[in-house]
Amino acid sequence: METIDFKDSHKIISSTLSNHKNTINNAERKELIKEAVNNNECMVSKCGALATWTPPDSTGRSPKDTLLVKRPQSQIYIDWNSPNNLPITDRVFDSIFEDAINYIEKSKKIYVNEKVIGADINYALPVKVITNRALTSVFADNMFRPVPEDIKQSCFNNKVFYLIALPYDKLDKEKYEWNLRKLPNGETTDKIVVIDFDRRLGIVIGSAYLGSVKKLMFTVMNYYLPFENVLPLHCSANEGKDGKTALILGLSGTGKTTLSADPERSLLGDDEHGWSDNGVANFENGCYAKMVNISSEKEPEIYKAVLHSEYYLNHGAIVENAMIYPNGDFDFEDIRLTENSRASYPLYFLNNIKESSTGGHPSTILFLTADAYGVLPPISKLTREQAMLWFLMGYTSKLAGTETGIVEPTVTFSRFFGQPFMPALPKIYAKMLGNKMEKYNTTVFLINTGWTGGKFGEGERISLKHTRAMVEAALNGDLNDVEYVHDKRFHVNIPKSCPDVPVKILFPENTWKDKDEYNKTADFLAQEFSATFDNSYSKNDIDPEIIRNCPGK
């Protein structure tokens, strides 16, 4: 195949599919499930969920194999200083595309799903998922939305994004020896997850982790939407009985899933949303939940959604990389395969959801952090500039024992609480947040679900009961008229009181026995903020007022 002109990429794919002897287009869900089981891509567990296991190198995302095509049209909008935005030349991408077409031609069956990403019809992105694995097609059916009848209203109408997913094929290492990264042992990688924003084309080869498909499309939306004045957010969203929408942002371990699953509030979605002039809308049609240590007591909604019952066979929930016993029961506490066991299921498997997956402009946004140093207040209110700063930083802590080699709490920053999936220049997302907060009178609170009375190993985790009380107070307006104290070190505003929360714990210093140790630890964390900010952002790109609100400055 000659070098491919990007204008012809979609035509080449369409021609390949038309000429294939066994292309299955938009099969019914039950047929896809049957195909996946018959192809031995999964097995039916006792509860009816589809159990599958990936190779050891595909139990999670592969950041170093995730690349963006660097083209003149788009490169000026992408933050190439981010360690997550790894460039690839158009020449190498052409070769990978050629390989993908060859793999499709040689596959016994090809499954095609035509879906959209986005519950708001005004910016629903049509996507055509092409794969040679029926289970990947089931996953796409779980996670992506049906094409609405009024798709012509979308700004992306006639701008279909094509996603080719070939999870068990491999790149030829010798062919790409001088083009793609080498592994620590000197070998060239045989997998790739690559996005060409200009061609509207994504390719996954060699990564069997289903999350690679989901996160690729999330990254695509995060790049395209700011051009349409839509702020993409890595967050959960729910709606109260008063009709007010809330957004919850937070990295793994901060309690985002737990706090968003509020029985008194309807869930719009648990992971990916857009905020436009119409309000908030979920991108997805499903959930991709972590299953480690899950139980019917801790997460009853998720537990029930995944493990329907033994009488409801083949319902299409997918459980990925969890231990299973010969009798068909899962053991979610056994992490020998991976701590990243996952489950994919449609939103309608949950009870307390808002079917439209859309809501009004958020009255409240919660930024979650799990501060293992025990120096951040459990709740604080952020001004516009403070919120933009904490949005840019995306702070939390990794805990000892969660990863090999971590013996003490580790400072972690992930801008916008989802850095690997936010490819555009950071000032774009931060400015949009500030503008929308101001335009729609949105209040932002920082919620610390981490430690109090000392750092990890000395203090204790902030009570979930107290955290829930603070979240409720933030959402229902109980903190609108209380008096606040400005913390000059971390530049946040601490309420002097909060219903059903002891006043003492609102101010971290009061909970530490050794005040000097508190100040030493707090100064350390503030300086980590300052140093990370200086290493990550140019002062010419960020408003000086935002910089002044960075801890340690």
Catalytic-role residue among 52, 66, 212, 257: 257
Examine the residue annotation and report whether 257 is marked as an active-site residue of this protein: yes
Catalytic residue among 271, 371, 412, 511: 271
User: What is the DSSP-derived secondary structure letter of residue 146?
Assistant: P
Catalytic-role residue among 128, 215, 427, 431: 215
Q: Which of 342, 361, 431, 455 is catalytic?
A: 342
Distance set, CA 530 to CA 371, 413, 435, 509 (Å): 16, 12, 24, 21
Give the closest residue to 178 by CA, choosing from 78, 95, 63, 83: 95
Nearest Cα neighbor of 50 from 60, 39, 61, 63 is 39
Half-sphere exposure of 253 (CA within 13 A, CB side): 20
Is position 491 annotated as part of the catalytic site?
no
Q: Which conformational region is residue 134 in: left (phi greater than 0), alpha (psi within -120 to 50 degrees), or beta?
A: alpha
Q: How far is CA 475 from the centre of its chain?
A: 23
Question: Is 91 tagged catalytic?
Answer: no
How many Cα neighbours within 13 Å face the side chain of 177?
4
Please pick, among 23, 62, 82, 252, the residue that the annotation labels catalytic.
252
DSSP 494: E
Q: Which of 256, 265, 315, 415 is catalytic?
A: 256
Q: State yes or no: is 94 an active-site residue.
A: no
The H or E element spanning position 342 is strand 342-346
Q: In what order do the strands lie in the sheet with 362-369?
A: 266-269, 236-239, 245-249, 362-369, 443-448, 379-382, 492-495, 484-487
Query: What are the CA-CA distances from residue 494 to residues 103, 328, 446, 460 (Å)?
Result: 58, 50, 10, 20
256 is a catalytic site residue: yes
Spot the catalytic one: 133, 145, 199, 234.
234
Which residues on neighbouring strands pair with residue 246, listed in sequence order? 238, 364
- Catalytic residue check, 273: no
**What is the distance between the alpha carbons of residues 246 and 364, in angstroms, rounded to a whole number?**
5
Instruction: Retrieve residue 394's tokens.
Output: 């995306």
Q: Which residues pair with 116 in a beta bridge?
A: 126, 145
Give me the catalytic one of 58, 59, 61, 266. Answer: 61
Distance of CA 170 to the CA centre of its chain: 26
Distance CA(375)–CA(18), nearest Å, equals: 61
Q: Give residue 123's identity as a one-letter amino acid code.
A: Y
Cα–Cα distance for residue pair 9/6, rounded to 1 Å: 5
Instruction: State the catalytic residues.
Output: 61, 215, 234, 252, 256-257, 271, 342
